[in-house]
Structure 1
Amino acid sequence: MRYQTGFLNHFASEAVAGALPEGRNSPQRPAFGLYAEQFSTTAFTAPRVENRRSWLYRMRPTTEHGRFEPYAGNPRLAAPVGAHTTPNRLRWDALPMPEGEVDFVDGLVTYGGNGSPEAGGINVHLYAASRGMDARAFQNSDGEMLIVPQQGALLVATELGRMEVPPGHMALVPRGMRFRVELRDGAARGYVCENMGAPFRLPDLGPIGSNGLANPRDFETPVAWLEDRDEDFEIVQKFAGRLWATTINRSPFDVVAWHGNSAPCRYDLSRFNTIGTVSFDHPDPSIFTVLTSPSDLAGTANCDFVIFPPRWMVGEDTFRPPWFHRNVMSEFMGLILGEYDAKEGGGFVPGGASLHNQFNGHGPDVESTRRATEAELQPHKITDTLAFMFESRSVIHPTEFAMRGGLLQSDYDECWRGFPKARLPQ
């Protein structure tokens, strides 16, 4: 695979030489009889610095399709309705691999969410798949999709090119773009944040300065790739919270050339430049933010994508695991590999998940607290771990499957039982 680098840069790419027009977005007669199509993921009048759009030159326009009909092939991909909303802290076992042949679309399972395509917000899904999609494509008209593989490498084919996405990477597919997922290792499992709010962007660095966290140069956008197949393809579309399907008589991946800044990308999470203290105290977890979807309240995100990667811990006289906290943000966590340093006693496993909704106390378990309190602090490197968090300003409402699908751990609260009472002076 070939890639172009730089987050939200303006790119130009062609699979066939001469397919891109010179100096004109939609010429009267595009080369080779191609059709010019603009793909916009922001309003036309959005501020220029925030405007995202690409021009696509394709073999046939996307207007050529029949009527969409309701798709009932995956009832577990559903909008949360709030019936199971609870202040309780929740944790789930890993989503099992499917029995039989299940692709990415039918393997998606909604665990919770908030908001709507009109109001913003997020939905959180997990996926488990055993076969590739082949003659199918998925289009999410409700939100962009941030895909985080946990097991098994993916090949994500989009209208603008293909991306290899193994565990330890993430992929971001723009809202409304068609894509399919092929499997590289026979089976795959992972996490998806469906972002219905402002498009993800890099967070401002503020006092950190010009360098640190995720660097724009490390985000890779694919080059143009063409699939010329004249056969039936099923298009499954998520629209207004429901699934719809239609069939076209060709591959939807027939874009010969494109230019613009609304494009899919991938990112290697190991390239994240972690920031931390070199003196004392414990910085806020915002220093681990890879991407953010801002809200209308400055500094309070519709969604933050946060990772907890391998890193050095050197702070003196410091409680090094995440402290006990209650905060305004709701946190959905997943584990890609290893152990999370605040839950080292088991229960939070790779492929599993947890949800701590806003203002409900959480933090390290009893044993992790004891070890951190008694530790002789020396520089120490946390290795062989990678956890992440989808963090939202709004309550994340669990779905029916999340609460009654058989994976919810009934004993999660036990990990916080038995803290010794503080001893005050007499």
Structure 2
Amino acid sequence: MQELIQNLEYMSGFNNEHETEALVDALPKGQFSPQKVNYKLYTEQFSSTAFTAPRHSNRRSWTYRIRPSIAMGDFLPYSQSLIKTAPETDIPCPPNVLRWDPLPLPETQTDFIDGLITLGTNGDAKVQTGMGIHCYCANASMGNRVFYSSDGEMLFVPQQGTLYVKTEFGRLTAAPGEIMVIPRGVRFSVDVAENDPVRGYICENYGHPFVLPERGPVGANGYSNQRDFLYPTAWFEDKDAPHTVINKFCGNLFAAELDHSPFDVVAWVGNSAPYKYDLANFNVMNTVSFDHPDPSIFTVLTSPSELEGTANVDFVIFPPRWMVAEHTFRPPYYHRNVMSEFMGLIEGTYDAKEHGFVPGGMSLHNCMTPHGPEAEVFEKASNAELSPQQYKDTLAFMFESRFPMAPSAYAMQTPLRQKDYIGCWKGLKKYFDGTR
């Protein structure tokens, strides 16, 4: 693992056109698909949007590899019963507030694929709307097993341990406080360091690929900046050894055999590739006068829908920041809205839920389901002295979607579900005084 860390290199810039080669002159000059390529490589284009998508949103990369991806066996069904895909109709979707304790770390050898569990879904993967919400726990590397999803791009949010990831486009690491996005269809393998088990969250986005949200009146700077998104440089394996490729396709898993490593891209050029981002680089915009801005000001990435201003899925964070608003209730206000919210906690304490919501935990508040600060938080915040306050040592996130999120049967039946979650609001008192 140390050798991998030392040899990592990244290129910066969200959705920029990148070019990178692991061998000198492996990239063709002047055209993408010449009759013959140096080093006797194959040319293969990878597209994660339609060919005729507008130029500003078109994503594709040209890869130059030792063998084309089709050099493989047929797919056969592969069983992993805890991975689900929308539409998921095993159980009715309840409007109740839901919360879960962290998934326990595995006690037996478990790699990323076998440690993947679906908590909820919405939309329909076959018509490319909505998302799946998964959690992963692993203590073993995937070895010669490889995974990819044909259903959606995968946004990783690590909560514990570092992921060492090989992809067709190069290598990436992702640690708590960082995120990583692997486009739909890109093959990857996750390694885990010895004595460093990993746990985290995944949003499998079936819809429009993630983009940076518009800044509006904020102007040219702030939120997440393009230059801070990092892409891998070309790296390859020329390895003739059996590998198993597992593909998530239309909600089912299939496995195919290869007699070589699929990580054999010697050079690539384009703008469709895995990338990572350090959440510490997010430039928070907040009020400096009064009232409480909506959580949309913390949006890092968004997958837009056909309804303007209503996202297929937003990725929102609640990072360390200053609160300075006057005459204002500081924690998130009580609310009901059309968006459904799945939250996770990476570290520290979330200001609206001081008890029961711990790092690695999760909560789900579906559309129009009321929620907000627990009773104890309301009491304290309503009577606090409003001096400037710094929120330190905290990092929470939210997957927010226009579609209701249906919890999986596992999510509803697991003993990790806190069946008394509604109780944190039981202490809310009546203070009404009609004489004042």
Question: Above 0.5 in TM-score?
Answer: yes
User: Superposition pairs for residues 230-379 of structure 1, below 5 Å?
Assistant: 230-344=240-354, 346-379=355-388
Letter in 2 for 1:106: D
For 1:419, the equivalent position in structure 2 comes to 428
Q: How many Å separate the matches in 2 of 1:231 and 1:116?
A: 37
For 1:148, the equivalent position in structure 2 comes to 157
User: Superposition pairs for residues 198-209 of structure 1, below 5 Å?
Assistant: 198-209=208-219
Residue 124 of structure 2 corresponds to residue 103 of structure 1: no
Q: How many Å separate the matches in 1 of 2:90 and 2:54?
A: 35
Letter in 2 for 1:27: P
Letter in 2 for 1:190: G
Q: How many Å separate the matches in 2 of 1:209 and 1:82?
A: 46
Q: How many Å separate the matches in 1 of 2:90 and 2:295?
A: 28
Residue 410 of structure 2 corresponds to residue 404 of structure 1: no
Unaligned runs of 5+ in 2: 1-7
User: Superposition pairs for residues 167-206 of structure 1, below 5 Å?
Assistant: 167-184=176-193, 186-206=196-216
Question: How far 1:57 sits from its partner (Å)?
Answer: 0.2
Q: How many Å separate the matches in 1 of 2:179 and 2:227?
A: 15
Q: How many Å separate the matches in 2 of 1:82 and 1:250?
A: 39
Q: How many Å separate the matches in 2 of 1:130 and 1:339?
A: 26
Q: How many Å separate the matches in 2 of 1:30 and 1:142?
A: 32
For 1:380, the equivalent position in structure 2 comes to 389
Q: How many Å separate the matches in 1 of 2:106 and 2:33?
A: 45
SS of 1:413's equivalent? helix
For 1:35, the equivalent position in structure 2 comes to 42
For 2:12, the equivalent position in structure 1 comes to 5
- Candidates 83, 95, 110, aligned match of 2:91: 83
Q: Is the 8 Å Cα contact of residues 159 and 200 (structure 2) preserved in structure 1?
A: yes
Residue 223 of structure 2 corresponds to residue 220 of structure 1: no
Q: Is the 8 Å Cα contact of residues 153 and 167 (structure 1) preserved in structure 2?
A: yes
Letter in 2 for 1:235: V
Residue 59 of structure 2 corresponds to residue 52 of structure 1: yes
User: Superposition pairs for residues 58-73 of structure 1, below 5 Å?
Assistant: 58-72=65-79
Q: How many Å separate the matches in 2 of 1:95 and 1:402?
A: 11
For 1:128, the equivalent position in structure 2 comes to 137
Q: How many Å separate the matches in 1 of 2:74 and 2:261?
A: 17
Choose 135-144 or 114-123, whichever is displaced more: 114-123
Q: Percent identity?
A: 56
Q: Is the 8 Å Cα contact of residues 333 and 355 (structure 1) preserved in structure 2?
A: yes
Matched residue pairs, number? 424
Question: How far 1:66 sits from its partner (Å)?
Answer: 1.0
Provide, for residues 1-45 of structure 1, a one-character-per-residue CA deviation record: whole Å limited to 9, x for no partner: 100000000000001111000011111001111000000000000
- Candidates 388, 399, 403, aligned match of 1:394: 403
Q: How many Å separate the matches in 2 of 1:343 and 1:423?
A: 24
TM-score normalised by the chain length of structure 1: 0.98
Question: How far 1:71 sits from its partner (Å)?
Answer: 0.4
Question: How far 1:164 sits from its partner (Å)?
Answer: 1.2
Runs ≥4 residues deviating over 4 A: none
Q: How many Å separate the matches in 1 of 2:189 and 2:408?
A: 25
When the two chains are superposed, the root-mean-square deviation of aligned CA atoms in Å is 0.8
Question: How far 1:424 sits from its partner (Å)?
Answer: 1.9
Q: Is the 8 Å Cα contact of residues 84 and 400 (structure 1) preserved in structure 2?
A: no
Question: How far 1:61 sits from its partner (Å)?
Answer: 0.4
Letter in 2 for 1:124: I
TM-score normalised by the chain length of structure 2: 0.96
Q: Is the 8 Å Cα contact of residues 11 and 260 (structure 1) preserved in structure 2?
A: yes
Unaligned runs of 5+ in 1: none
Q: Is the 8 Å Cα contact of residues 142 and 241 (structure 1) preserved in structure 2?
A: yes
Question: How far 1:136 sits from its partner (Å)?
Answer: 1.0
Provide, for residues 165-202 of structure 1, a one-character-per-residue CA deviation record: whole Å limited to 9, x for no partner: 11100000000000011113531000000000000000
Q: Is the 8 Å Cα contact of residues 84 and 399 (structure 1) preserved in structure 2?
A: no
Letter in 1 for 2:42: Y
Q: Is the 8 Å Cα contact of residues 213 and 272 (structure 1) preserved in structure 2?
A: yes
